[in-house]
């Protein structure tokens, strides 16, 4: 799998998320990250994170919080680094399952799709 964002030197502390992308240093203060969870988190929980293999996002399993790299780039004012027209890495367009329209009430996982009136 090719990486959409090749994030390097990712660090997170109680002030900011910092990383390098395409040779550029990016810093996003936690207060501007778009998360209400991260600015309130303990330092030891902030240091436990996973970067997606494709580089699309960061996940903090202890906090059950995730942020996209594109969103962080927007917060940092670095829209010039955002990748547009990302090809689907998750659904094979030839997969007939992805194209089949499901009936109302069809169960996905453990939930059931319902409209607001039901």
Distance between CA 69 and CA 82 in Å, rounded? Answer: 8
For 70-104, write each residue's pLDDT tens digit.
Answer: 999 999 999 999 998 776 655 555 555 444 454 55
Query: What DSSP letter does each residue of 39-54 carry, written as one string?
Result: GGS-HHHHT--EE-TT
The beta strands (E) that lie in the chain are given as 8-12, 16-21, 24-29, 50-51, 57-60, 65-68, 107-108, 111-112
Neighbours of 83 (CB within 10 A): 13
- Whether the pTM exceeds 0.75: the reply is no
CATH class of 8-81: alpha beta
Q: Residue ranges of the chain with pLDDT lower than 50?
A: 97-100, 102, 105-118
Domain range summary for the chain, segments of one domain joined by +: 8-81
């Amino acid at each position: 799998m090719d990486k959409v964002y090749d994030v390097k030197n990712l660090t997170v502390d109680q002030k900011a998320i910092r990383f390098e992308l395409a040779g550029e240093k990016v810093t996003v203060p936690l207060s501007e990250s778009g998360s209400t969870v991260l600015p309130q988190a303990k330092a030891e929980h902030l240091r436990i994170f996973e970067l997606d293999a494709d580089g699309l996002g960061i996940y903090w399993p202890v906090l059950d919080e995730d942020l996209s790299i594109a969103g962080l780039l927007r917060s940092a004012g670095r829209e010039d680094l955002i990748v547009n027209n990302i090809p689907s890495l998750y659904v094979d367009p030839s997969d007939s399952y992805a194209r089949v329209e499901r009936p109302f009430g069809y169960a996905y996982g453990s939930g059931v799709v319902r409209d607001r009136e039901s």
